[in-house]
Structure 1
């Protein structure tokens, strides 16, 4: 079936990127740490935990939203996510205790992020079977660029209005923008094929069979991929979630310079999603992942070993952000390659739990031990993921696997 004339698939991408830009502002959380500590006198570790709760809640609701959008479509699910995110952040402006901050920003806001996040990914992949790596990269690049776009805006709001009013302004922006972007999301018709593209009869590394969630969970490849995703995201979230704190406390930067560094890291995070997604269409997902894990291993080791200047801090953190962006681009594509697109919302939602787990563990490690020790732990985990990548291969289709078990 050819593409419907009434639908330009790039319009879907526009809506996806608009949504992800707002969701990705969560990566600017480190900018709120110092103002909240100063305003309320809270412990730094307690404030930092908000970021972990937000990402962990996001990962859980990605599964729930993925299952719902697989059944009813992405438009209203993403809209609901925008409403939850906006309301959660607005309510956080009234928080006078940490548990209220966790509830409003971490749980309600995080639920909104997770509800909206999976919809653009699952939808765009279906519209672009011919450019799966590239389009996954673009779809999540907005998430990485969110911190870049919102960091200067947040700084202006903080300087002029304080942290509480900043939450109000941001909540209104998120609610409106995500709800608008959601209206552009639409699944392609059954049997859709992009105009001018002929699906190959067989594609190396790509499974033409759609796995149910239960079938996916019965394959050992899923667990290898999940652990690999966990280790890569742990390193990335450790650096991104604590970037401003690392810059100020370890490198000796001013708060303003650290904010600039956060923006630069966000640029590499966003561009890494597009570049690695594009490269994976050429080199293959596994080869690209091997390169990324090697780079992340080296960068985290150097951060643990050398005395960092502003330049080395920026280079190494940007490299981590660049690879982290690639992980978020390639794992949706790899999940679609191995397990099909019919149940991608639910299947990738479960895969995405690795990201949520990393969001809890990464920043906790980063604040529980000296930074250099945390970086070394992350380096070892990335090296382990490099090894695991060599054992990852395309799973057999469910009927083939069943036949093999019966023959045995």
Structure 2
């Protein structure tokens, strides 16, 4: 099988599940239609991200055993079912359960499959391929924005979920059929052509073995701090433009499109860069850029051009985190259990969707930027303690061996 067909399938499914980033388009229409508080509707997005991240653990383990095609297909069914039920929902609890939990679980099942498959097919280009795969996820919100706006305007918010369920179901199922794990001999040939990758693949860690190594926890918290900083700006970009940069809502809203473009490009560019200068060096560069941008947003000159520049940089760096960490997981812990291992790593991203909001509940934007910037500097320092993990072996002595000693 041509391995680029796997990449095509990955892009198709990721663009569709990535439409979750366009959830903000539903907030006001749902609030107006059913008389709900907008703040209560917004919670749906956080539930969806958290559930999807948690689901990657189980989906990753399952796809390691039975392959990505069947797991992604099942995820497509769950996503469509969740949206169908959402189209019939009349209470917030029903929205939380149908979209947040059920559709969120479908997104999590689909998300981990193309990442794991692509990394296995391209051991020589892990950063680039991870970037392309998750780049589709980043573009999903941008591509589906006009589609969602059209449906809401012409058919109402509830029916929009019905039509999206049909679209997602068809395209995700089609894309899922292209997802395959490589035959072992194909993977070995690719590994043999790259000595560095061959050395990295010498040890395949089970999840238990990975969790016994301290580099995993360094990576996990580094991932948490970086993605939290990115989501803090991305999720509240319009509010930041109005409250911090003193812009009107129309100008501040322009950042949404700009962030989506730079988010997607950052995944590809920084993922590819990590193949050439190394994962750790790329992460250090991203953390430096993130910290500097956040500190500037707190103490620098604030105007419309700088608003677009700083939010673009934050989107660019955020995309880099999501592109590099799958490759980090494969490099340090092997590809055999890549699905479930990255599922555990990905929990940092799931928690980050709440962490930024938690910080903002205690601090205004300018102070929250400083806090997030300092945490990125902490992540930068943590990167200096990363070493190649070693498996912890248990030594068992028999009674006869003890007697001989």
Global fold match (TM > 0.5)? yes
1:347 maps to which residue?
A: 341
Change beyond 3 A, Cα 1:193–1:205: closer
Query: Residues 17-28 of structure 1 correspond to what in structure 2 (within 5 A)?
Result: 17-28=11-22
Query: Secondary structure at the residue paired with 1:187?
Result: coil
2:24 maps to which residue?
A: 30
Distance 1:252 1:275 in 2: 32
Query: Secondary structure at the residue paired with 1:20?
Result: helix
Residue 126 (1) aligns with residue 120 (2): yes
Residue 70 (1) aligns with residue 64 (2): yes
CA radius of gyration, larger in:
2
Unaligned runs of 5+ in 2: 398-405
Aligned Cα RMSD in Å?
2.3
User: 12, 29, 32: which is aligned to 2:6?
Assistant: 12
1:393 maps to which residue?
A: 387
Change beyond 3 A, Cα 1:128–1:154: same
Is the 2:123–2:191 Cα contact (8 Å) retained in structure 1? no
TM-score with structure 1 setting the length:
0.91
Is the 2:241–2:307 Cα contact (8 Å) retained in structure 1? yes
2:296 maps to which residue?
A: 302
User: 159, 168, 183: which is aligned to 2:162?
Assistant: 168
Q: How far did residue 364 of structure 1 move? A: 4.0
Change beyond 3 A, Cα 1:201–1:325: same
User: 202, 207, 212: which is aligned to 1:208?
Assistant: 202
Change beyond 3 A, Cα 1:196–1:330: closer
2:308 maps to which residue?
A: 314
Query: Secondary structure at the residue paired with 2:185?
Result: coil
Distance 2:127 2:226 in 1: 18
Query: Secondary structure at the residue paired with 1:192?
Result: helix
Change beyond 3 A, Cα 1:306–1:166: farther
Change beyond 3 A, Cα 1:93–1:244: farther
Residue 402 (1) aligns with residue 393 (2): yes
Distance 2:162 2:81 in 1: 9
Unaligned runs of 5+ in 1: 1-6
Aligned residues: 397
Is the 2:291–2:374 Cα contact (8 Å) retained in structure 1? yes
Change beyond 3 A, Cα 1:150–1:237: same
Is the 2:118–2:130 Cα contact (8 Å) retained in structure 1? yes
1:357 maps to which residue?
A: 351
Q: How far did residue 366 of structure 1 move? A: 3.8
User: 330, 338, 347: which is aligned to 1:336?
Assistant: 330
Is the 2:75–2:107 Cα contact (8 Å) retained in structure 1? yes
With 354-363 and 329-338 compared, the bigger mean Cα shift is at: 354-363
Is the 2:68–2:181 Cα contact (8 Å) retained in structure 1? yes
